[in-house]
Chains A and B, each alone.
Chain A
Amino acid sequence: QSALTQPASVSGSPGQSITISCTGTSSDVGSYNLVSWYQQHPGKAPKLMIYEGSKRPSGVSNRFSGSKSGNTASLTISGLQAEDEADYYCCSYAGSPTPPVVFGGGTKLTVL
């Protein structure tokens, strides 16, 4: 399976909303509601932000939301804050054969 496609970078000002897209195929994103999103600050491990397309783990701000349309999943961050500046990765279940999961190439979010 090929990696999912994400924009290399997005930016926004504090308080604004931004959306990061994650485009796959009918074999992964389009077939399953099993997209997850991860936030990674420099030198740190990824942190789960969204799972099963739109669910937030306990402790994750409700400013983060996920959605899907067709073969494209999206992560929206509202009320941008300086601490949101990080890399964001999407990941989708891809069924069989292996690998069962594929990652996007990552998006660098800059808070202006």
Chain B
Amino acid sequence: QVQLQESGPGLVKPSETLSLTCTVSGGSVSSGSYYWSWIRQPPGKGLEWIGYIYYSGSTNYNPSLKSRVTISVDMSKNQFSLKLSSVTAADTAVYYCARDRGASGYWYFDLWGRGTLVTVSS
């Protein structure tokens, strides 16, 4: 079965760049049926969609984060990645990668990684 697993540093200093990778196992990131999304959840708060990438490399970002976000895909490693620049304490959150049926017009997240907590602190 398809599984997603986030990886990356759990602690990032203010003003630096947060970098996370999501590894897709049991399936292929090059499937044309899915977008591959990043979603975050600050401690004790709700979910916020960050953005997605399609296997072709096309991306779509939340306007509230667009100036700081880059999502990329590496089909050779079956991974997609998130970079968030100039982080502040407000970026402290659990970051999830998720499979998004939006590419097929259905717009729901049917598979999630376990999430990884990233804390922004000096």
Closest Cβ neighbor of A87 among chain B residues: B46
Closest Cβ neighbor of A97 among chain B residues: B63
Binds B, one of A14-22, A45-53, A72-80: A45-53
- A32-B107 Cα distance, complex, nearest whole Å: 10
Q: Which residues of A contact B63 (CB under 8 A)?
A: 97-99
- A51-B108 contact in complex given A45-B114, A89-B46, A103-B48, C-beta closer than 8 Å: yes
- A101-B110 contact in complex given A45-B96, A45-B115, A46-B96, C-beta closer than 8 Å: no
Q: Which residues of A contact B115 (CB under 8 A)?
A: 45
Interface residues of A in 16-48 (CB under 8 A from B): 32, 34, 36, 38, 44-48
Q: Contact residue range for chain B?
A: 20 to 34
> B86 CB to closest chain A CB, in angstroms?
20
* CB atoms of B106 and A52 under 8 A apart: yes
- A52-B46 contact in complex given A98-B60, A98-B63, C-beta closer than 8 Å: no
- A48-B37 Cα distance, complex, nearest whole Å: 15
Q: Among the listed B47, B106, B107, B114, which residue makes an inter-chain contact with A103, where contact means beta carbons less than 8 Å apart?
A: B47
> B26 CB to closest chain A CB, in angstroms?
16
- A42-B63 Cα distance, complex, nearest whole Å: 29
Q: Mark A43-68, 1 if CB is under 8 A from B, else 0.
A: 01111100110000100000000000
* CB atoms of A101 and B107 under 8 A apart: yes
Q: Mark B87-122, 1 if CB is under 8 A from A, else 0.
A: 000000000100001100011111011110000000
Which residues of chain A have a CB within 8 Å of any CB of chain B? 3, 32, 34, 36, 38, 44-48, 51-52, 57, 89, 91, 93, 97-106
Contacts A34-B107, A51-B108 known; list 6 others, CB within 8 Å: A34-B108, A47-B112, A48-B110, A51-B106, A51-B110, A89-B46
Nearest 3 interchain pairs by C-beta: A36-B108, A93-B107, A51-B108
